[in-house]
Amino acid sequence: MFGTPIILAPIAGPGTPELTAAVCDAGGFGFLASPYSAPEKIHADVARIRSLTKKPFGINLFVQPELPPADDAMLERAHERLRPYLRELGIDTSEIARPTNVYAAQIEAVIEEKPAVFSFTFGIPSVDILARFRKAGIATMGTATTVEEARALEEAGVDCICAQGAEAGGHRGTFIGDAREGAVGTMSLVPLVVDVVKIPVIAAGGIADARSVRAVLALGAVAASIGTAFLRAHEAGTSAPYRERLANASSSDTVLTKAFSGRYARGIANRFTREMEHESNIAPTPYQNALTTELRKVSAQQGNREFLSLWAGQSFPMAREASAAEIIAQLRA
Amino acid sequence: MFGTPIILAPIAGPGTPELTAAVCDAGGFGFLASPYSAPEKIHADVARIRSLTKKPFGINLFVQPELPPADDAMLERAHERLRPYLRELGIDTSEIARPTNVYAAQIEAVIEEKPAVFSFTFGIPSVDILARFRKAGIATMGTATTVEEARALEEAGVDCICAQGAEAGGHRGTFIGDAREGAVGTMSLVPLVVDVVKIPVIAAGGIADARSVRAVLALGAVAASIGTAFLRAHEAGTSAPYRERLANASSSDTVLTKAFSGRYARGIANRFTREMEHESNIAPTPYQNALTTELRKVSAQQGNREFLSLWAGQSFPMAREASAAEIIAQLRA
């Protein structure tokens, strides 16, 4: 289906059209994550990829048909909790940032652009939307963190499944049940999913070198979805303080935190994740994401790693600074 | 070192001398877990193994040089919390059960019996004890859940390391830092440990079929330590209600709970783990283990799965009822 066992996972933030294209040109299959992109941005990013490579690629979105109801008091409390950090970084705290929902327009943009594959996380698009992708000749890949989610995706008619183990960096794709309790590791999840679905399974989580690529193929996956190993790629948009922290892997500890986006995601701990660890005033996604957008942006600009989302999988000490082509050569060694 | 890639992990409770011997005779390498055994029991169990097989085998202990200081008020609160459950099962609640420490005598018994391998969890035996094992010609294997623990074990001079991923059933062997936060999955842990130590690494966690055995060998492990796949073996001492729950794998959810022993261990959720989930009145190990011993025993006798420690790894839906020899044949297929 992908014609290669090496897939660049959709990595929002560090991902760039340049990285996606470089992976495709080096014989991998690249995804671009566009979870918060307006349709114009999706069109521009796809145009950029196509200017760099003739190879097929994929686009990834969050399934977010509508914003959850906004509770103003709760948003104010979540904003209030962030105020000292915003002030510390010199950010105007007077306005509460609110998200807009562009999901329907994103879907139109992706169908119009006809990438080879459309992948998604946090749920299942509607029957109508999946039918439109099928009609457009775009393959679909859903993300499952449990056997139950894999079954639901297959029943909905997706073409393949990304089985995301607990080791994976960034957001846990969980859409049934709790994303943290009982998070299943790649070694257990992949064969369990392979045994219950008939469609191809792509493994994600903890795959960062040639050994782990071989391991997930032995588990029955058709390919390995790899994000963390590309975080220090020359073509990635990873910020300087984020790169520095990845390079300094004296401790391999990562944490699952809701503090940045309102949803559990795995990254390297910093002051923000530690101080927010037991915080209850965190808005649900995508509100919390909007509330922390400026904080993360300015933190990166100031070279300050303490308020950045340092998404990383548990194998992050293996991430090397190199070109995407060199990283792919190592993954195949 | 083991002469086989298939190792029966030490599984306290369901483990029996019969299971250990059957695994050895079928071409695997069997451990017997003796964490709470008095020296007389260790001698008797080893005699039983030797009456059943001529093959080499291993014995596993907890590293517990001394009991932590007992805080009577805390023990009373922990006992008080258990009282309704004890009463519900008709257990006399008047006495607070207290553990005795037999570690020094256990060590003597194991050295005297000279198994091929001595493995241990929850720390590192003293320099003197490790030297005595070396002198006795008994190989040593320590358990690591992080790269840092693996380094510490190698520095102490152990002969090999069991890298226990987060998928593993039963107690997490963690002895530096928190056993739950940042628990590293097998796919990430094994190659990271292989890269930092020179001694052989045995993988544990999520290995329950031939695919996962091949996967951990691809990761660089010399062998796979397998517990959960043997829980339903004919030769195992797994209780009837425990076997029934394993057979009914409609949900693959496992939890990490401290409720039974005071230390995090992975098992299938039941009423006890759910109701104790946020409980703070849990005594430290081994006190909590002593407080719940009768509860677990009587629950098993009554065919009641709700107060049993249903230790199981995340691959438990793969456990099959069969002889140890048949299970080993499947693991090698």
Q: Residue B286, preceding bond cis, omega within 30 degrees?
A: yes
Residue of B nearest to A179 (CA): B253
Q: How many CB pairs under 8 A join A and B?
A: 125
Query: Which two tokens mark B257?
Result: 């709970």
Q: What is residue B251's predicted lDDT score, i.e. its pLDDT?
A: 64
Residue A251: which pLDDT band, with cuts at 50, 70 and 90?
A: low
What's the distance, CA A95 to chain centroid? 28
B63: left (phi over 0), alpha (psi -120 to 50) or beta: beta
Q: Which residues of chain B have pLDDT under 70?
A: 250-252
Query: Which two tokens mark A121?
Result: 């996380």
Cβ-based contacts of B207 with chain A (< 8 Å): 187
Q: Does A145 touch chain B (CB under 8 A)?
A: no
In whole angstroms, give the CA distance from residue A119 to residue A220: 20
B261: left (phi over 0), alpha (psi -120 to 50) or beta: alpha
Assess whether pLDDT exceeds 80 at residue A177: yes
In whole angstroms, give the CA distance from residue B66 to residue A260: 43
Q: Closest to B187 (Cβ–Cβ): which among A147, A186, A192?
A: A186
Distance of residue A38 Cα from the nearest chain B Cα, in angstroms: 35
Looking at residue B233, the DSSP 8-state letter turns out to be B
Looking at residue B218, the DSSP 8-state letter turns out to be H
Distance of residue A44 Cα from the nearest chain B Cα, in angstroms: 36
In whole angstroms, give the CA distance from residue A308 to residue A212: 28
DSSP for A203-245 reads EESS--SHHHHHHHHHTT-SEEEE-GGGTTBTTS---HHHHHH
Q: Does B144 touch chain A (CB under 8 A)?
A: no
Q: Confirm if B45 and B262 have CB atoms less than 8 A apart.
A: no
Assess whether pLDDT exceeds 60 at residue A252: no
The answer, as to whether pTM is greater than 0.95, is yes
In whole angstroms, give the CA distance from residue B100 to residue B48: 25
DSSP for A3-45 reads SSSEEE---TTT--HHHHHHHHHTTSEEEEE-TT--HHHHHHH
Q: What is residue B203's predicted lDDT score, i.e. its pLDDT?
A: 98
Q: What is the mean pLDDT of chain A?
A: 96
B182–A253 C-beta distance less than 8 A: yes
In whole angstroms, give the CA distance from residue B184 to residue A251: 12
A209–B315 C-beta distance less than 8 A: no
pLDDT above 90 covers what percent of chain A? 95
Cβ-based contacts of A320 with chain B (< 8 Å): none
A188–B315 C-beta distance less than 8 A: yes
In whole angstroms, give the CA distance from residue B37 to residue A303: 56
Cβ-based contacts of A187 with chain B (< 8 Å): 165, 167, 185-187, 205-207, 212, 215-216, 315
Looking at residue B311, the DSSP 8-state letter turns out to be B
Q: What is residue A31's predicted lDDT score, i.e. its pLDDT?
A: 98
Q: What is residue B9's predicted lDDT score, i.e. its pLDDT?
A: 98
Q: Does B225 touch chain A (CB under 8 A)?
A: no
Closest CA to A212 of B172, B173, B191: B191
Q: Closest to A187 (Cβ–Cβ): which among B182, B206, B220?
A: B206
SS3 B61: strand
Q: Say which residue the tokens 């991923």 belong to.
A: B165
Q: What is residue B252's predicted lDDT score, i.e. its pLDDT?
A: 56
- Put simply, the chain B residues between 292 and 311 with a CB less than 8 A from any chain A CB are none
Q: Does A164 touch chain B (CB under 8 A)?
A: no
Q: Edge-to-edge, what's the strand order for the sheet holding A254-257?
A: A170-171, A265-268, A254-257
B211–A191 C-beta distance less than 8 A: yes
Give how far Cα B96 sits from Cα of B70, B79, B300, Å. 12, 7, 21
Cβ-based contacts of B318 with chain A (< 8 Å): 191-192
Q: Give start and end residues of each alpha helix (H) in chain A.
A: 17-25, 39-52, 72-88, 103-113, 127-135, 147-156, 186-196, 210-218, 240-247, 271-275, 287-301, 324-332
Looking at residue A284, the DSSP 8-state letter turns out to be P
> What does the pLDDT look like over A209-238, one tens digit per residue?
999 999 999 999 999 999 999 999 999 999
Looking at residue A68, the DSSP 8-state letter turns out to be P
B165–A166 C-beta distance less than 8 A: no
Residue of A nearest to B179 (CA): A253
Residue of B nearest to A219 (CA): B211
